[in-house]
Amino acid sequence: MTAALALERVTCTFISRENRDQRYTAVRDATLVVAPGEFVSVVGPTGCGKTTLLNVAAGLLAPSAGSVRVHGELLEGINARAGYLFQSEALMPWRSAFDNIVAGLEFRGVPADVASAKGNDWLKRVGLAGFGNRFPHQLSGGMRKRVSLAQTLILDPKILLMDEPFSALDVQTRQLMENELLELWSADRKSVVFITHDLEEAISLSDRVVVLSAGPETHPIGEYAIDLPRPRDVSEIRLSPRFIEIHAEIWHAMKDEVLKGYAQQQQ
Amino acid sequence: MLRVWQALVLVAVIALWHIGTSPTLLPPLYFDNADKAAFFFGEPLTVLSRIWNWFAGGEIYRHLWVTLVETLLAFVMGTVSGLLIGIWLALAPTASAISDPYIKALNAMPRLILAPIFFVWFGLGIASKVAIGVSLVFFIVFFNVYQGVREVSPVVLANARMLGATHRQLLRYVYLPSAMSWVFASLHNSVGLAFVGAVVGEYLGSSEGVGYLIHQAEGVFDINSVFAGIVVLTGFALVLDWCVTLAEKRLMIWQPRQGETERI
Ligand SMILES: Nc1ncnc2c1ncn2[C@@H]1O[C@H](COP(=O)(O)OP(=O)(O)OP(=O)(O)O)[C@@H](O)[C@H]1O
Ligand SMILES: [Mg+2]
């Protein structure tokens, strides 16, 4: 079976704008393959190049070397089959929550009444019915994240790229959203690349966890299949013995990298 | 209470003016002739009656209308051209790099000095006043839009692209609204400058408009009419500014403002 998304030996070297001799290789020779319907989490120390990898997968950033294949086809330009949930604020501040949610449909020329029906449905699904008229600055950080989620999912992308989507939320809301995400995902099994720095979150959600080395020249240093049964409840599964076992195993492998990454940023 | 104090200040200033210029109320302190103070500074009561006559006689409306038309035309044309060229240059780095020194020079130049040229090109009618106003408004809007487009959040842009926006749609749904917010931020300034352009143009050469009225009164040393014209212009500017504030409130609801909570 062809992979839904395959990053093949991707290298990303950033050149400093002022001094063209100064370069920084954030990612080197990274290979990441996601099967159709698979939920893959990527964990790694901060600043190691997770967002960079995701930008490459989205087609927003052309890799210096290597290639990206989407369902077997070589990717050029924007990855139209992917939905991207950004790490930072990405809503259009001049559009209300509702108008933000239906923006993608509008860009695709979907008739207004269809778009509006879908938009209202999604507004409800992310628990924001009645907040459609609010502008982004009138919503809380968690609400904005949910608007972003609806904005991306309304287009029903086959591939979902998520960059630390829940890191701004409190633990309770976060677990609610995680369960919600799992439910949405199990309904139609999108291929998901989920970036997080939270190992517990990664294990409880995914089929597979990929651990990245500390930067520079980040690359995957370990892959762990998560054989926990589904459907899962993220708060309960964290207490199961198998979860704790997996967690210990991955954490053991990660610890050195995290310390390395931290030490580098202290310099 | 504040309003009362504000009104008191106005009354005090007018009273002082009246006492200082009335030939009968004060002995001549500085001027040897009692009527001279009134000649130089006018008399508030005469000024008021002049204004009253203008409005009652209906003479002023034609002039106000001309000034209003000039202001609005200059505002709209200056804003639209500033918006289009601002967006274009912000998105075309080569063109922007080439034109950069010229734009800086044009902006540094005191553009009212172009008035004689505009009179030669466009005659003494409305067109030359509009041209002066446009030359003032254009740069305000242009620089704001240029800045606004360059400062569109790259993440918002990337998000719109991921949601499937084409180049045209990016322009229409991302760059334009973002630039518009900067246009609105400069709304007070640009309306004000359009007004300045119109009035100064009328003052320098025309046969209509409030600026012309002032110029004409000045020509016959009718200081009371000059003051009356100034008062009318000020009132007119206040009304314009108030309309802008109303428009701003309606158009900028999406922008965060400080202290939106209600005090109980
Ligand atoms: N446009 C750029 N130019 C230069 N360097 C960059 C650029 N983008 C990212 N980098 C560098 O690449 C490295 C990886 O950045 P990236 O944003 O991918 O990290 P991350 O893993 O997502 O971190 P975090 O977990 O904090 O979000 C960082 O050291 C960063 O400084
Ligand atoms: Mg990141």
Give pLDDT tens digits for A66-80: 999 999 888 888 999
What is the mean pLDDT of the segment spanning B74-85? 93
Q: What is the model's pLDDT at position A100?
A: 95
Residue contact A88–B164, C-beta within 8 A: no
> Which residues lie at CB < 5 A from ion ligand 2?
A 51, 87
What is the mean pLDDT of the segment spanning B88-115? 89
Query: Is A51 an 8 Å CB contact of chain B?
Result: no
What is the mean pLDDT of the segment spanning A36-55? 90
Strands A73-74 and A39-43: unpaired
pTM of the model: 0.81
pLDDT tens for residues B116-165? 899 999 988 899 999 999 999 999 899 889 888 888 899 999 999 999 99
The CATH number for B31-253, chosen from 1.20.1600.10, 3.40.1710.10, 1.10.3720.10, 1.10.1380.10, is: 1.10.3720.10
Torsion angle of alpha carbons B78, B80, B81, B86, nearest 10°? 110
What is the mean pLDDT of the segment spanning A72-92? 90
pLDDT tens for residues A148-160? 999 999 999 999 9
Q: How many angstroms does the Cα of residue A53 sit away from the middle of ligand 2?
A: 9
Beta-bridged to residue A212, according to DSSP, are: A220
pLDDT band of residue A24 (cuts 50, 70, 90) is: confident
Phi and psi of A41, rounded to 5°? -105, 145
Residue contact A104–B158, C-beta within 8 A: no
Q: Enumerate the residues of chain B whose CB falls inside 8 A of the CB of residue A86.
A: 155, 158-159
The DSSP code sequence of A193-246 is EEEES-HHHHHHH-SEEEEEPPSSSB-EEEEEE----SS--HHHHTTSHHHHHH
Q: What is the model's pLDDT at position A68?
A: 92
Q: Enumerate the residues of chain A whose CB falls inside 8 A of the CB of residue B160.
A: 92, 103, 107
Instruction: Assess contact for A155 and A122: CB atoms under 8 A.
Output: no
Q: What is the model's pLDDT at position A3?
A: 86
What is the mean pLDDT of the segment spanning B168-191? 87
What is the mean pLDDT of the segment spanning B33-61? 84
pLDDT tens for residues A135-183? 999 888 888 988 999 999 999 999 999 999 888 778 888 888 888 889 8
Whether residue A267 has pLDDT greater than 70: no
Q: What is the model's pLDDT at position B27?
A: 66
Q: Please state, in angstroms and rounded to a whole number, the distance separating the CA atoms of residues B190 and A40.
A: 54
Q: Which ligand is nearest to the CA of A196?
A: 1
Q: Helix (H, G, I), strand (E, B), or coil: what is residue A67?
A: strand
Which of A80, A90, A135 minimises the CB distance to B155?
A90
pLDDT tens for residues B216-230? 888 888 888 899 999
Mean of per-residue pLDDT scores for chain B? 87
For B257, name the nearest residue in chain A, comparing CA atoms only: A137
Q: Helix (H, G, I), strand (E, B), or coil: what is residue B5?
A: helix
Question: Could you state, in order of their start, the residue ranges of all structural domains in chain B?
Answer: 31-253
Mean of per-residue pLDDT scores for chain A? 89
Residue contact B164–A80, C-beta within 8 A: yes
pLDDT band of residue A119 (cuts 50, 70, 90) is: very high
